[in-house]
Structure 1
Amino acid sequence: MKKKSSFWKAGHTPTLLASFFYFDLSFMVWVLLGPLAVQISKDLGLTPAQKGLMVATPLLAGALLRIVIGVLVDHLKPKKAGAIGQLIVIAGLMWAWLGSLKTYDSMLTLGILLGVAGAAFAVALPLASRWYPPEHQGTALGIAGAGNSGTAFAALFAPSLAIAFGWQNVFGLCLIPLGVAFLVYMIFAKDSPAAPPPKAMIEYLHVLKDKDAWWFMFFYSVTFGGFSGLASSLTIYFNTQYGLSPVTAGYFTAACVFAGSLVRPMGGIIADRIGGIKTLSFMYIVAALFLFIASLGVRSPILALPVFMVAMLALGTGNGAVFQLVPQRFRKEIGVMTGLVGMAGGIGGFYLASSLGYSKQITGSYQFGLTVFASLAIAALLGLSAVKERWRTTWGSAAMTTARI
């Protein structure tokens, strides 16, 4: 109990919870096209590949915009950068609600605007992280990062709201919770006084000269890429593979996404206790195994559901573990590293979501797309095994940090 109470006294709880709430609703909007894709593609007559690219576009846009937001976080401070992003998303949703979305191109444009919501990651994590000491980074970033659960709300409510009100009106209905989140954020979130000074643009490029930055980007492209790619694609998968209705497919997706997002804080807590490397290694093994089982084509949706849930549990826990390690290695560059690592995660999600669509269109099956991603989890495990000794004897040694690596 002592550790828990010291955690709640160590930082700024209103900022931590406001970060989580803002992140949660931003992620709900970010993946909104996935749960609506069945109805949208029916109205617009999209192919499997177009459907896959449509739901993947916000993931790629969000990934690239995380760098922009990461720079803004360091120069304007996290709170102001987050406020700007939220206002852009609200304006984009208003356009989607009141505008004309009758073509594939207009859906891709909307996907780019929704990408700004995905960049919330680069605000929420530094906003929370800067308030907490090294030994509580995993827990703090796990709680802030549990905003991943917003993707489950999209899967849970969007398909049934689309049936009741029409899918275009869902974008208007989203303005209500986003408005509430904006007010909560503006009232309760505060920038940490311990923020590092802003860096010149060239210094952001310097981080990329460090090979550890590339390792973290790769590791997160698998854990978060798997999580976000599946969150965007599973409604389509359950609908196409098993003939489930959009609403039922949304419920199945929500169960998987809740599993993956709610354990993110657990991933941070476990990593604080036993070390991020050990936690991450185990999670890659579990994720690879269950993604491979899924690729074999489970016969019924009732059996497929637990397979995807376990895969998402592993990926979600891995997300928390990666961000227990990043602040230990790049504490002074946490703003830009959150942007870079987050960008890699979004690119991983874009790859998975789009490759599933192309896999279905070209081969008639999702097997190839899922098999390749399972193989990437194995590659990440091998990469982690290659660097762990060096990490534990340099920046992760007991002489350098109080945190477990």
Structure 2
Amino acid sequence: MVSRAFLRAGHMPTLLSAFLYFDLSFMVWVILGPLGVAIAKDLGLTPAEKGLMVAIPVLSGALLRLVAGVLVDHIGPKRTGILGQLTVMAGLAAAWFLGVHGYSQVLLLGVVLGVAGASFAVALPLASRWYPPQHQGLALGIAGAGNSGTALAALFAPGLAQAYGWQNVIGLAVLPLACAFAIYLIFAKDAPNRPPPKKLAEYLDVLKVRDAWWLMGLYSVTFGGFVGLSSSLTIYFNAEYGLPAVTAGFFTAACVFAGSFLRPVGGALADRFGGVRTLSVVYVLAALGLALASFQQPSPWLALALLMFAMMALGAGNGAVFQLAPQRFGREIGVVTGLVGMTGGVGGFYLASSLGWAKQATGAYQAGLLAFAALALVALLGLNGVKARWRRTWPELAGAGAAALRL
């Protein structure tokens, strides 16, 4: 899959630095989910409050991705990443030192953790600008596989919380972030073909292009499903199947690793078969997996298998969307990454919060999962409606690079 041509085409130290920065940023972005069982027990939270607690960092990260995208185009991705990492480390250190004593303070911490979620809008342009169109899917798939950091949180946070207390886990998270920050400072470099910065008003011009809105909508389902489930599954397995927090974290980590592994595979498949074809299959499989998982299964292992299946489809879809985005918006990739990433986070906020509301209102998570499965089918219908126009107009817009497009 990683050919010699790919290795020669870009800058591998930057690609790997972008992956590590993205990976550990995502680890802390969703850390309230794996810690949610312990936090809810200490603070006496309702299902709806638990849902909002894990959804707030997702929403904050979504909105801040647009800010990060603008900064990427003005000061470059490397400097933007430095500012973001320093902010997150300072916020975590302050929360650990001062303590988190109430629900409102948990939500405030969630807003700060959103800065880590905005790393998406930095890491992807940092990697993307080093690679030509024919390698965009794989390059962005590798960088984007940093969303596996959500699995690290699920894997280690519940056990550490049990041993040292959940508030101390917040402080311990600074240590791996500091290591990733040092590697990023040394090895990451901005690509030499950085486009000149635009006036702020020019960024709004992207929103006048229908294709930007379509990509935003498509990603709100694939990434929204991925990050919404990543944030919620520890609480879900604990509440729905009675699993201990540590076991529920292991189950969540398995789902996240499956989805993260398939992101670069989805990008590579999109490079070979086209992003539209890959996404069409993805939405069908994701809808099927979510719909089946919505029904109470006779064992948590069967539920795990179904949710892993759904997460694998969603992960592949994330890679496919970002195989398409640079082909249509190569010059505006920074702000487009921010916009598309923002709506992906909004989708995750909707899923995470709706699962909590569904549990509180009906006593089960089924309504929330079925509603998101229906959204995947809506996305499929929309994609089928625009694919003919994209295949007709995008090569014309690409000009000399039209031959390299794979739709």
Report the TM-score range of the alignment, normalised by the length of the smaller protein.
Answer: over 0.9
User: Partners in 2 of 1:157 and 1:259 — Cα distance?
Assistant: 17
User: Partners in 2 of 1:54 and 1:21 — Cα distance?
Assistant: 26
User: Partners in 1 of 2:49 and 2:105 — Cα distance?
Assistant: 13
Measured after TM superposition, the shift of residue 299 of structure 1 is 2.3
User: Partners in 2 of 1:396 and 1:226 — Cα distance?
Assistant: 31
SS in structure 2 of the partner of residue 101 of structure 1: coil
Q: How does 1:39-118 map to 2 (within 5 A)?
A: 39-118=38-117
Q: Which amino acid aligns with 1:355?
A: S
User: Partners in 2 of 1:157 and 1:401 — Cα distance?
Assistant: 46
Measured after TM superposition, the shift of residue 100 of structure 1 is 2.4
Structure-2 residue corresponding to 1:316: 315
User: Partners in 2 of 1:401 and 1:267 — Cα distance?
Assistant: 21
User: Partners in 2 of 1:198 and 1:372 — Cα distance?
Assistant: 40
Measured after TM superposition, the shift of residue 38 of structure 1 is 0.3
User: Partners in 2 of 1:208 and 1:384 — Cα distance?
Assistant: 18
Checking the alignment, whether the CA contact within 8 Å between 1:66 and 1:119 is kept in structure 2 is yes
Q: How does 1:221-370 map to 2 (within 5 A)?
A: 221-370=220-369
Checking the alignment, whether the CA contact within 8 Å between 1:11 and 1:132 is kept in structure 2 is yes
> Percent of counterpart pairs with the same letter?
68
User: Partners in 2 of 1:24 and 1:340 — Cα distance?
Assistant: 20
Measured after TM superposition, the shift of residue 403 of structure 1 is 2.6
Measured after TM superposition, the shift of residue 238 of structure 1 is 0.2
User: Partners in 2 of 1:73 and 1:359 — Cα distance?
Assistant: 38
Checking the alignment, whether the CA contact within 8 Å between 1:259 and 1:312 is kept in structure 2 is yes
Task: Give unmatched runs, 5+ long, in structure 2.
Answer: none
User: Partners in 2 of 1:325 and 1:193 — Cα distance?
Assistant: 23
Q: Deviations over 1:351-400 (max 9, x none)?
A: 00000000000111111100100000000000000000011111147962
SS in structure 2 of the partner of residue 196 of structure 1: coil
Task: Give unmatched runs, 5+ long, in structure 1.
Answer: none
Q: How does 1:394-405 map to 2 (within 5 A)?
A: 394-396=393-395, 400-405=402-407
Measured after TM superposition, the shift of residue 404 of structure 1 is 1.2
Q: Which moved more, 1:8-17 or 1:390-399?
A: 390-399
Structure-1 residue corresponding to 2:35: 36
Query: Normalising by the residue count of structure 2, what TM-score does the alignment of the two structures yield?
Result: 0.98
Measured after TM superposition, the shift of residue 118 of structure 1 is 0.2
Checking the alignment, whether the CA contact within 8 Å between 2:144 and 2:319 is kept in structure 1 is yes
Q: Which amino acid aligns with 2:126?
A: L
SS in structure 1 of the partner of residue 404 of structure 2: coil
Checking the alignment, whether the CA contact within 8 Å between 1:56 and 1:351 is kept in structure 2 is yes
Measured after TM superposition, the shift of residue 295 of structure 1 is 1.2
Number of aligned residue pairs:
404
Measured after TM superposition, the shift of residue 401 of structure 1 is 4.1
Q: Does 1:376 align with 2:375?
A: yes
Q: Which moved more, 1:192-201 or 1:293-302?
A: 293-302
Please list every run of at least 4 consecutive aligned residues from structure 1 whose deviation after the TM superposition is greater than 3 angstroms: 396-399
RMSD of aligned alpha carbons: 1.0
Measured after TM superposition, the shift of residue 184 of structure 1 is 0.2
Q: How does 1:154-193 map to 2 (within 5 A)?
A: 154-193=153-192
Measured after TM superposition, the shift of residue 95 of structure 1 is 1.2
Checking the alignment, whether the CA contact within 8 Å between 2:35 and 2:158 is kept in structure 1 is yes
User: Partners in 2 of 1:396 and 1:236 — Cα distance?
Assistant: 46
